[in-house]
Amino acid sequence: MTDMRSPRRKAPPSQDQASPDKAPPRRRNPVETRRALLDASIAEFAENGLAGARVDAIARRAGVNKQLVYHYYGSKDELFTASLEEVYRHIRTQERELELHALEPVAAMERLVGFSFDYLAEHPEFITLLNDENRMRSAHLKDSRELVDMHSPLVEVIATILERGVQQGVFNERFGPVNLYISIASLSYFFFSNNSTLSAIFNRDMSTPAEVARRRQHVIDLVLHALCSNYQPTG
């Protein structure tokens, strides 16, 4: 005789037995999301500039939904401003860790100039973002109070080094901290921002380790010889 009993039904899986294919999505930490978006946007803007960068591409790089970009940053322009603030924040943080106050004036200035050169060598994205912002006549920098405030501590550090050097008789009094900062930055910046054209003009690869090391020492020597007539490297 045919068994008319209803087939036994399987009990629903408990939470501990839930299929891995249907695991609940992990909730993103807002701090992690912002960090991922900043990293992704810096990379995207460095490669394509503000005009060529795409919000979809930034979201894809960050591994988030496109709507989260607008949720956290409002617009592509606001994200570009945040990216500029972030690259400046990073270099200022690194500068504070140099502990220049603990060094004698000549050694402190050597370390600062060498660091400024090395940072640009290691962070080409800093140069490309700044080049893009300069083409836009600092439209984003002008609206960022944070970026303006970031430079004040560095100028104060340079002023203190200069003052100590003058008091000790190793530096002359011809240079103010702002102009000295501009000179230090530009001597290194031009070499990296124009490396390709310099290589073509002088018919040699200016990006080789030997050329980079030669330029680095030249920049240090140039700044320190301008500050003190009897400069002798401390390293």
HEC states along 87-148? HHHHHHHHHHCCCHHHCCHHHHHHHHHHHHHHHHHHCHHHHHHHHHHHHCCCCCHHHCHHHH
- Does residue 196 lie in a domain region? yes
pLDDT (tens digit per residue) in 22-35: 444 455 688 899 99
**Which residue reads 């803007």 in tokens?**
45
Counted domains in the chain: 2
Query: 46, 130 in Cβ contact below 8 A?
Result: no
Burial class (CB in 10 A: 0-12, 13-18, 19+), 179: exposed
Q: Are residues 92 and 175 in the same domain?
A: yes
Q: Are residues 52 and 119 in the same domain?
A: no
Q: Are residues 113 and 63 in the same domain?
A: no
Query: What number is the average pLDDT over the span 147-151?
Result: 75
pLDDT (tens digit per residue) in 83-137: 999 999 999 999 989 999 999 999 999 999 999 999 999 999 999 999 999 999 8
Q: Are residues 85 and 162 in the same domain?
A: yes
pTM recorded for the entire structure? 0.82
pLDDT at 42: 96
pLDDT at 141: 84
The single-letter code of the amino acid at 69 is: V
| Domain-terminating residue out of 39, 74, 109 | 74
- Give Cβ neighbours of residue 159 (< 8 Å, ≥ 6 apart): 176, 177
pLDDT at 235: 65
Q: Are residues 69 and 94 in the same domain?
A: no
Q: Are residues 99 and 52 in the same domain?
A: no
pLDDT at 10: 46
The first and second tokens of residue 45, run together, are 């803007």
Whether the per-residue pLDDT at 18 is higher than 50: the answer is no
pLDDT at 27: 58
Q: Are residues 167 and 210 in the same domain?
A: yes
pLDDT at 1: 46
- Does residue 64 lie in a domain region? yes
- Does residue 10 lie in a domain region? no
- Does residue 47 lie in a domain region? yes
Q: Are residues 151 and 123 in the same domain?
A: yes
- Does residue 15 lie in a domain region? no
CATH code at position 45:
1.10.10.60
Q: Are residues 85 and 67 in the same domain?
A: no
Give the domain extent around 46. 28-74
